[in-house]
Amino acid sequence: MQNMSPENMVNMARTFEISTNAKCKYIELEENSVYHPVQCNNQLCCTLHKLLKQDYTCQELTAHAYDQAKRFGLAYIYYCDIGLVHIIMPIHQEDGKKRALFCGPILISDKYEYLFEEVAIKYKISTNEIQNLLKALDDIDAIEPYKVTALANMLELVANNASTDIGKLTVKIRNDVQKQQVKIHEYLMSESISENNTTRTYSIEKEKLLIAAIRDCDIEKARELLNSILGDLFVIAVADLDTIRTRLVELIVLLSRGAVEGGVSTKEIFGLNGQYIKQVLEVDTIDDLYYCLNQILIRFVDAVFIYRSSRHGDSIKRAIQYINQNYMNKITLEEVASAVHVSPNYFSKIFKEEAGINFATYLNQVRIEGAKKLLAERDTSLVDIAYLAGFEDQSYFSRVFKKYTGLSPKRYKELQGTT
């Protein structure tokens, strides 16, 4: 299959948009491209960023999402800074340009829920200011959450169809390795190999740094160090395949040490070691040896990442305890994140992953449970109950209460009096 022209890809994105009723465009992440993505220019983003006096981070987020989608070989679904959903899927062709189909922004919750729970709490925006954002939401596609996954799957199919055989996702890792091999070549050239190879020594310090990079899940730093170590090894061994293979077996043990120091169990790592050493002993070219070692490096870093992800539960438990003890106060996501010693953005992500709902929704659920107890036990005005349950606005309290209970606070109180 030959490269598809940008014009055809633009038409493909337009057809996708018409078919799904979800905004879609073709983008190229090359700086000088006419298809380079610009900052979001929808009315909601413009209004909110102006209100908050914040700079846009859309391009940085898009670039990061592209890298993640390329890494996993799947359409990548992510939230932007203001809680809207976006989907990106790379299109792979021989020239190596960073091109993709981009879908969004998408709203996956109720308009009022989004504005009050996602925006008002996170950015401490008043009810009056929220009203100014309601009309701006008309420019955003509203899609049920379960349809977002289907949308991502369809985007994958379309983008893969536009990819050439050589550029398809089935070879994405090998293409990435080829780029790393170029870096090794550049490294060797920069070290002036022609001067005196016999005095070149193998750096133990680089090994220590490589272990630390794996332990810290820093895949880019780990690859950089691996390139440097392999560069030293290739020069010292003078392309002697047997010598290189022997040293790579030693490197596998080194990589596994980094994973163990990152917290992965020795039982899991040693089991992988036997498998990977067998692979290294079976390959018969330097390129394949290098490719194999990169795959092993990725696997060990992922093992550390998975281990650390499993530790999120403790932070979320402490966060939930903090919320339950302080829900009656004006607490924010930033405050709770600080209480469990993680960054707000990271906390927001892991809370939703672990709890199954976002922070604002959980906080409202706890507040409604508190309000129900107050309504049942006290002869207190609804205004005071709203305040005691942590709500600053009675009308918003009433709306949230009815959403979660199916009854207005007044009706709920009346029914409690008859039981």
Within-domain flag for 1: no
- Alpha-carbon distance 67 to 61, whole Å? 10
**Residues 121-178: tens digit of each pLDDT:** 777 777 677 777 777 777 788 888 778 888 988 999 999 888 875 444 444 444 454 4
- Alpha-carbon distance 161 to 147, whole Å? 21
**Residues 223-263: tens digit of each pLDDT:** 788 777 877 776 666 557 777 777 777 778 777 877 777 76
Within-domain flag for 135: yes
* Of 297, 307, 247, the residue nearest 272 (C-alpha): 297
**Residues 38-62: tens digit of each pLDDT:** 666 777 777 777 777 766 667 888 8
Within-domain flag for 390: yes
Domain of residue 250: give its range.
171-309
182 lies in the same domain as 274? yes
Q: What is the CATH number of the domain that holds 347?
A: 1.10.10.60
301 lies in the same domain as 386? no
Strands 99-107 and 141-142: parallel
17 lies in the same domain as 113? yes
Query: Can you give the pTM of this predicted structure?
Result: 0.43
Average pLDDT of the residues of the chain: 77
Q: What is the mean pLDDT of residues 340-365?
A: 82
Task: Give residue 350's pLDDT band: very low, low, confident or very high (50, 70, 90).
Answer: confident
DSSP 55-82: ---HHHHHHHHHHHHHHHTS-EEEE-TT
pLDDT at 393 over 80: yes
283 lies in the same domain as 322? no
377 lies in the same domain as 410? yes
pLDDT at 365: 92
- Alpha-carbon distance 365 to 352, whole Å? 14
- Alpha-carbon distance 249 to 281, whole Å? 8
Q: What is the mean pLDDT of residues 2-26?
A: 89
Q: What is the mean pLDDT of residues 380-408?
A: 89
20 lies in the same domain as 158? yes
Structurally, the chain folds into a number of domains equal to: 3
Within-domain flag for 320: yes
143 lies in the same domain as 85? yes
* Residues 52, 123 contacting (CB under 8 angstroms): yes
Task: Give residue 398's pLDDT band: very low, low, confident or very high (50, 70, 90).
Answer: very high
Of the residues 283, 309, 335, the one at which a domain ends? 309
pLDDT at 368 over 90: yes
pLDDT at 75 over 90: no
144 lies in the same domain as 188? no
pLDDT at 57: 67
322 lies in the same domain as 388? yes
Q: What is the mean pLDDT of residues 265-275?
A: 70
Within-domain flag for 23: yes
335 lies in the same domain as 387? yes
335 lies in the same domain as 378? yes
Of the residues 143, 167, 191, the one at which a domain ends? 167
Within-domain flag for 13: yes
Q: What is the mean pLDDT of residues 199-212?
A: 71
355 lies in the same domain as 210? no
**Residues 305-316: tens digit of each pLDDT:** 666 655 566 778
Of the residues 119, 137, 167, the one at which a domain ends? 167
